Structure 1
Amino acid sequence: MTQNDVKAEQELAAIRTLLTEAYGLEGDVLPLPGEHDLNYRVRAQDGEQYLLKLHAPADADDLGMQVAVLDHLANTAPDLPVSQPVLSRTGASTVKVTVRGERTARLLTWLPGDIWAKSVSRTPASAETLGSLLGQLDRSLEGFAHAGTKRIYAWDIGRADMHLQHVDLIDGDEKQAAVRAILERFAASVLPSLETCPRQVIHNDANDYNVLLDVEGRVSGLLDFGDMVETWRVVEIAVAAAYALIGARDAVGTIGALAGAYHRANPISEAEADLIFDLVRTRYAVSMCMAAKQIRENPENTYLLVSQEDVWRELQRLERENRAVAIARIRDACGFAPIAHAASVMRWLELNAHDFSAIVKPTVTKPQVAVFDFAASNPEAAQWTALDAQAAEARIADHIRAQKADFGIGLYGEDRAIYRGDAYETATSGERRSIHLGVDIFAPAGEPVHAPFAGKVAFLHDDAVAFGFGPTVLLEHATDTGDIFWTLYGHLSRETLATLTIGQPIATGERFAVFGAAEENGNWAPHLHFQLVTDHLGLEGRMFGVGVRDQWQVWREVSPDPSVVLGLSVPASVIVARDKDFLVRERHRRIGRSLSIAYSAAPLKIVGGEGAHLIDEDGTRWLDMVNNVCHVGHCNPRIVKAAQTQMGKLNTNSRYLHDSLVEYSRRLAALFPDPLNVCFFVNSGSEANDLALRLARAYTGNRDVITVDHAYHGHLSSMIDVSPYKFAGKGGEGRPAHVKVAEMPDLYRGRYRYGDADAGRKYADDVRSQVLALAANGRRPALFFSEGILGTGGQLTLPEGYLREAYAHVRAAGGLCLADEVQVGFGRVGSHMWAHQTQGVIPDIVTMGKPIGNGHPMAAVVTTEAIAASFANGMEYFNTFGGNPVSAEIGLAVLDVIRDERLMHHCQVVGDRLMDGARALAKRHAIIGDVRGYGLFNGIELVRDRETLEPAASELDFIIAEMKRKHRILLSSEGPHHNVLKVKPPAPFSAADCDYFLEALDDTLGRLNH
């Protein structure tokens, strides 16, 4: 054993003695790295773990600060994953000890997880969870103050200018030059901006050795408050980001993810967001200065060199980033406009577009324009070279001639990834630029180019390389509020550049350039690339003409859609498809968070549909077993054709006479017995039920409503009032005074169950009780709401005679009865066109929606002439879109398909097959407690015990997830206990689909307990 080994063992022995005497602990001790302090992991005999810190002799304020902050956080934010102090036997927070000199010991609770730098579980979510934690931490530290935080601290990058004197200590001219430039920029530009930002105490050292990650890559702990300082708040983000991006594929994306998460937990200002990128670079510069200085002072402290290789490598990577793009991306991640003035520029353009001059002025009065789709027209172009591009000229010319057009255009937002060449290669964060930022206008060489509005020549550039812009001009413009922007013109003639000078004024409509020939522009067919530019990113005339797909939300702010300037008679842009993570983020930002996302843990991006299948972005087909809206099949060709044909003729409101509306009302009413023969047309099931309530109140003069427990009838305020599923659930306001709730007739787990021949009458007696409760207060019901099968109640079929008896009680009190067929109508139940017909009743009002238009937003109410007449009380009823010609034609087509394809009978046959198969599975899998339904509206209720009927909700969650993951089947849950597997596929769901579902369910149930 060497002398060093002996010394180390003596230290560990002293530490064990300290733990026993001061804390009453015995166990294993493992040394951990540290810059100034000695750190140890302690595993006690009872299995508990601790962090022991032996602080070097220092200012008492420093140690007092660390003790005080943990006490503060324990009181203000006890749920934060930071260590809690462990008091000694005497109740002290600190203990004096002699280990490598006099030191102060602190024992802290151990935080689980692996150190970030050593973790193999790091994911993109790691940076987000770190940002969120630091945001919460800093909110908790806003009121914290301590003398120790007031220090002038060399690791406070808010004071980075002090390190200019240390730059010469860094080895290497390249490193010195990079660091000096960063620190000089900090002193000149960053620090003055920081002065306007909030200050507070921050952790200041969320480095990759102070952050812990769990097995899923989420932050589970934050260590070491020894670097705390009072400084500018935004420094916290920069310090953490400098370490989080090490080794990340997308450095700026990682900074943005961390900053955005911090902002959501603790909102920052736009000014702070603008500084983050420069502050991250500053952190690297300070780190290099500090390392150079400390190594000179203490060459044996190898800890100082732990991260320096990473620092220089990552600093070089950031130096290659376009600073303007990086700042825009970070702003976007925080929810700010990537380019602050882009929106005001676009508003100015939209307000003044009527005064713009045409950029290209064909000789004909009304030019014909042909859209040229590069990707679709040139699928083989992935292997093109500059010389091959000559082949495009003839193809484009032929395309324009075939369309009998004067000129053709290439689209804004089009994917140009198929073209190879320097101009389309990597630009930022290792991402390939491929999305077209302008509109290409194809016309013969020499075609004049005119200024759309006044400006001046800002930049001239001649890029003759293949796939570049060739000769390029940027004109500078200003809005009436002083916002500066540019218009870019590429692929011009070289002669154009010779006629222009920087600063030269250009008038509205002035001819200032001409289209270049192919040989001047990398052998491209003659065309003009026209682009709006709100920020030239410091590139000036070398401005990019294509952007990065994954950063499109930023690039479309840098170069917005130029259609507003061109004013063409054809669409000149396309929507750029984005990945699922982006779409989820944007939904949360742009659309109310209350709008749920199916399969939120692994959402689907659906781009197509066919029959009973949905198709995702990768072409995967998913068997859709929950979509009763596209009743006659996704994208049914007859429905699509009906909509397209009528849309090409006329779409207007129902105040004008139109054959389709009258024909549809006749066909729809014919599906009901007398006296149900008057139709009202609206846009959704919610609207239909709301109108039905108005009809009932007008006819009866009463206002009160009786509804069935756990029912849902729509999202309008009036319908939330009659939907216990909503008003009695999370976020609900409870039952309104004008609503009575009848017992849910559940034959499986209710008071009266299967085998009770009188269950229908007994459940209906509770409707009678609600009628009597109203009567006791001198009131009478206006309307009784019920579905023919209770959907949100758990796909419950009604006991025989229930509606007949319930209707009788309501009608005896002067009320009306409504059958809600929004979910189950149009032949889905198989035996009948409408679910209420299985009960042998004729309602006073029937409401329809969802399947009525196969996904087109339409709905209807059918009632009697007498009820309709009572509604004609002088207040005109009008619905702008209800009953429009397009909706009427779609409705007619749906009825035709149901009839011609015998879909009602099909639903019965396949539905019986499905329920028979599910009941057979129940004999092998005890978790299946009940199988019920009619046709293709079914419920499979899962229970843990058939005697107690304990709901198997978590098991159903597993089944739904596994059916999706392994078998590509889409399902969902229903019922008060969320334990009913809901089955309601499009009607074309086939026997083969049914068998596939049953086999998959059998497989999944078999794996449930394994």
Structure 2
Amino acid sequence: MSLFCRSIGYVRRAYATAASVKPSSVSQIEMPPCDFTPDKYTGPSYEEALRIRKGSLFPMLTYYKKPLMLHQGYMQWLFDMDGRRYLDLFGGIVTVSVGHCHPKVLAAAGAQMKKLWHTTNIYLHPAVHEYAEKLAAKMPGNLKVVMFANSGSEANDMAIHLARLHTGVFEIVSTRNAYHGASPHLMGLTALNTWRYNVPTGFGIHQTMNPDPYRGPWGGARCRDSPAQTGRSCDCPSGQCAACDMYVDQFEDVLRFSVPKGGRVAGFFAESIQGVGGSVQFPKDYLKKTFQMVRERGGVCISDEVQTGFGRTGTHYWGFEGHGVIPDIVTMAKGIGNGFPLAALVTTPEIAASYAQALHFNTFGGNPMASAVGSAVLDVIEEDGCQQTSHEVGTYFLQELDKLRDEIDIIGDVRGKGLMIGVEMVKNKETREPLDAETMGAIWEKTKDMGLLVGKGGLYGNVFRIKPPMCITQADVNFALSVIREAIVCVTS
């Protein structure tokens, strides 16, 4: 066991203040400084909160053996009820895009609250119209009509409905290992058994093989659009991806056998990079080729940008742009409001017109406060250079994690783009057998004890999901890398 592990109590004591951690020996990791001091916590006790959670809230996923009681946030930092500081590398499940309690977003919300909290869109109000125009201006092609909602699940539900209305066809295709939400409709679209209940679902929805260059049957070291490539050997000729063609053949097989005669589909759903599924990236040109096949059969192409949008992938504002495609429908949520309940669907005028077949309105979608917040987030992304930060800091993070993969046997794969990163843990690099839950959990708990919050994902729960607010620094990354290395050493030595 390393000296750092034996002296972990030092780090716990140091979190009692908001100041940076001061090392007392060379093996201890210094947390980057923060000049923000949280308010003194005055709410219910930890024990009382646990009692209420167990007795008055529906059963829900809770992180860590001893769940964190978070009290306050500031940019990339979170503070618990005792004032301990944590570097947030998960951003409220990829939701806090520009930073916790960003001053400009706070100001926009406060100013709108003083004017008008709520009115449904049966009336006009300036905030939603100004915001809709500003958001549509971020979209390529003819993606110019916006429908606002409250969550990514709601936006994806509407996308299914709209695709079927527009095409007059019922069949929808998604990829295995995808997560698009957990409503009754979307449980059929989501192809991860850990998120599905034993109820009838998925009528008219079909899944194709997941085109995963690391864990799938085909793929290699030149297949992904990422600074970090899989360690598998690659037989692809220069400028071509043979793995892509094999996965496209599987997609065509679904259209040949699983949909009604003629192969027509209403739509195809795809994430630009799979989020809950473990930050899985598709081979280059996969979406370009499958989008073409769907359109040839009269269907529409739907990009789920709930996690990959708003500059997170670094090189582009939208994840789908990195694939060289323009979808027919784009859904977005999470980072769109920096944590405020807000989502949207953007499509073409022709497809949007299909919704006029019956009456429709949304009580809260596009309400004045959400519109003011969403508009401020767009401004901050530009003013703070969040996309550039995602590209520069994210690329550095991926490259350093890739070095760590070469150093540590149980890191099987590093992947992603910008600040959308996955680190897959394995027992054996050759067989790619997933790391057991006990070891994975012990490493995860240790990172939390050292002041670092990361997510978990993938079918086997063996992928560390790193999707921080897009305001982190290289110093934060260096701290995170040191913690991850030490946590692994602590657990496995």
Q: TM-score, normalising length from structure 1?
A: 0.42
1:967-990 Cα deviation digits (max 9, x unpaired): 111112111121111100111111
Kept in 1, the 8 Å contact 2:71–2:81? The answer is yes
In structure 1, the residue matched to 2:62 is 597
In structure 2, the residue matched to 1:607 is 71
Kept in 2, the 8 Å contact 1:706–1:767? The answer is no
Larger-gyration structure (1/2): 1
Partner-residue secondary structure (3-state), 1:797:
coil
In 2, the alpha carbon distance for the partners of 1:913 and 1:953 equals: 29
In structure 1, the residue matched to 2:170 is 703
Superposition map of 1:585-734 within 5 A: 585-593=51-59, 595-599=60-64, 601-627=65-91, 628-651=94-117, 652-726=119-193, 731-733=197-199
Kept in 2, the 8 Å contact 1:580–1:603? The answer is no
1:980-1006 Cα deviation digits (max 9, x unpaired): 111001111111110000011121222
In structure 2, the residue matched to 1:953 is 436
In structure 1, the residue matched to 2:305 is 821
Partner-residue secondary structure (3-state), 1:921:
helix
In structure 2, the residue matched to 1:533 is none
* Aligned pairs, number: 432
How far the C-alpha of 1:752 sits from its partner, in A, is: 0.8
1:497-538 Cα deviation digits (max 9, x unpaired): xxxxxxxxxxxxxxxxxxxxxxxxxxxxxxxxxxxxxxxxxx
1:572-615 Cα deviation digits (max 9, x unpaired): xxx9722222212211211111x22221x111111100011111
In structure 2, the residue matched to 1:184 is none
How far the C-alpha of 1:674 sits from its partner, in A, is: 1.6
Q: Which amino acid is 2:110 matched to?
A: Q
In 2, the alpha carbon distance for the partners of 1:789 and 1:975 equals: 12
Partner-residue secondary structure (3-state), 1:940:
strand
1:801 pairs with 2:285: yes
Q: Which amino acid is 2:293 matched to?
A: H
Partner-residue secondary structure (3-state), 1:929:
strand
Q: Which runs of 5+ in 2 are unaligned?
A: 1-39, 221-233
1:857 pairs with 2:341: yes
CA change 1:732–1:835 in 2 (3 A) is farther
How far the C-alpha of 1:730 sits from its partner, in A, is: 5.8
In structure 2, the residue matched to 1:989 is 472
Q: TM-score, normalising length from structure 2?
A: 0.85
In structure 1, the residue matched to 2:212 is 746
Q: Which amino acid is 1:745 matched to?
A: P
How far the C-alpha of 1:780 sits from its partner, in A, is: 2.6
1:648-706 Cα deviation digits (max 9, x unpaired): 00132222222221221111111111211110011110110011111111100011111
Kept in 2, the 8 Å contact 1:953–1:978? The answer is no
CA change 1:580–1:642 in 2 (3 A) is same
Q: Which runs of 5+ in 1 are unaligned?
A: 1-414, 416-574
CA change 1:971–1:672 in 2 (3 A) is same
In 1, the alpha carbon distance for the partners of 2:152 and 2:197 equals: 22
In 1, the alpha carbon distance for the partners of 2:214 and 2:478 equals: 26
In 1, the alpha carbon distance for the partners of 2:393 and 2:101 equals: 21
Moved more, 755-764 or 819-828: 755-764
Q: Which amino acid is 1:931 matched to?
A: V
How far the C-alpha of 1:722 sits from its partner, in A, is: 1.1
Counterpart selection for 1:876 from 355, 359, 376: 359
How far the C-alpha of 1:729 sits from its partner, in A, is: 5.3
Q: Which amino acid is 1:619 matched to?
A: G
1:780-823 Cα deviation digits (max 9, x unpaired): 31111110001122101111001011111111111111000011
1:616-637 Cα deviation digits (max 9, x unpaired): 1111111111112111000011
Kept in 1, the 8 Å contact 2:256–2:263? The answer is no
Q: Which amino acid is 1:927 matched to?
A: I
In 2, the alpha carbon distance for the partners of 1:924 and 1:774 equals: 45
In 2, the alpha carbon distance for the partners of 1:587 and 1:1007 equals: 32
In 1, the alpha carbon distance for the partners of 2:70 and 2:340 equals: 17
Kept in 2, the 8 Å contact 1:823–1:851? The answer is yes
In 2, the alpha carbon distance for the partners of 1:607 and 1:775 equals: 50
CA change 1:666–1:732 in 2 (3 A) is same
Structure with higher strand content: 1
In structure 1, the residue matched to 2:15 is none
Partner-residue secondary structure (3-state), 2:434:
coil
CA change 1:704–1:883 in 2 (3 A) is same
In structure 1, the residue matched to 2:34 is none
CA change 1:775–1:587 in 2 (3 A) is closer
Q: Which amino acid is 1:603 matched to?
A: P
Superposition map of 1:850-999 within 5 A: 850-873=334-357, 875-954=358-437, 955-965=439-449, 967-999=450-482
CA change 1:832–1:810 in 2 (3 A) is same
Partner-residue secondary structure (3-state), 2:185:
helix
In 1, the alpha carbon distance for the partners of 2:476 and 2:381 equals: 19
Kept in 2, the 8 Å contact 1:795–1:932? The answer is yes
Counterpart selection for 1:761 from 236, 240, 245: 245
CA change 1:736–1:694 in 2 (3 A) is closer
Counterpart selection for 1:788 from 241, 254, 272: 272
Superposition map of 1:827-842 within 5 A: 827-842=311-326
In 1, the alpha carbon distance for the partners of 2:290 and 2:215 equals: 20
Q: Which amino acid is 2:123 matched to?
A: Y
Superposition map of 1:333-482 within 5 A: none
Q: Which amino acid is 1:818 matched to?
A: I
In 2, the alpha carbon distance for the partners of 1:898 and 1:697 equals: 34
Superposition map of 1:445-524 within 5 A: none
Partner-residue secondary structure (3-state), 1:964:
helix
Kept in 1, the 8 Å contact 2:424–2:464? The answer is yes
CA change 1:996–1:982 in 2 (3 A) is same
Kept in 2, the 8 Å contact 1:956–1:973? The answer is no
In 2, the alpha carbon distance for the partners of 1:762 and 1:683 equals: 38
1:719-766 Cα deviation digits (max 9, x unpaired): 11211125x756334763411111111111211111242222221222
Superposition map of 1:549-588 within 5 A: 577-588=43-54
Kept in 1, the 8 Å contact 2:310–2:317? The answer is yes
Cα RMSD, aligned residues only: 1.7
Q: Which amino acid is 2:90 matched to?
A: V
CA change 1:669–1:840 in 2 (3 A) is same
In 1, the alpha carbon distance for the partners of 2:419 and 2:289 equals: 26
CA change 1:901–1:580 in 2 (3 A) is same
Kept in 1, the 8 Å contact 2:179–2:274? The answer is no
Partner-residue secondary structure (3-state), 1:581:
helix
CA change 1:671–1:617 in 2 (3 A) is same
In 1, the alpha carbon distance for the partners of 2:310 and 2:291 equals: 22
How far the C-alpha of 1:1008 sits from its partner, in A, is: 2.9
Moved more, 969-978 or 891-900: 969-978
Partner-residue secondary structure (3-state), 1:796:
coil
How far the C-alpha of 1:777 sits from its partner, in A, is: 4.5
1:527-579 Cα deviation digits (max 9, x unpaired): xxxxxxxxxxxxxxxxxxxxxxxxxxxxxxxxxxxxxxxxxxxxxxxx97222
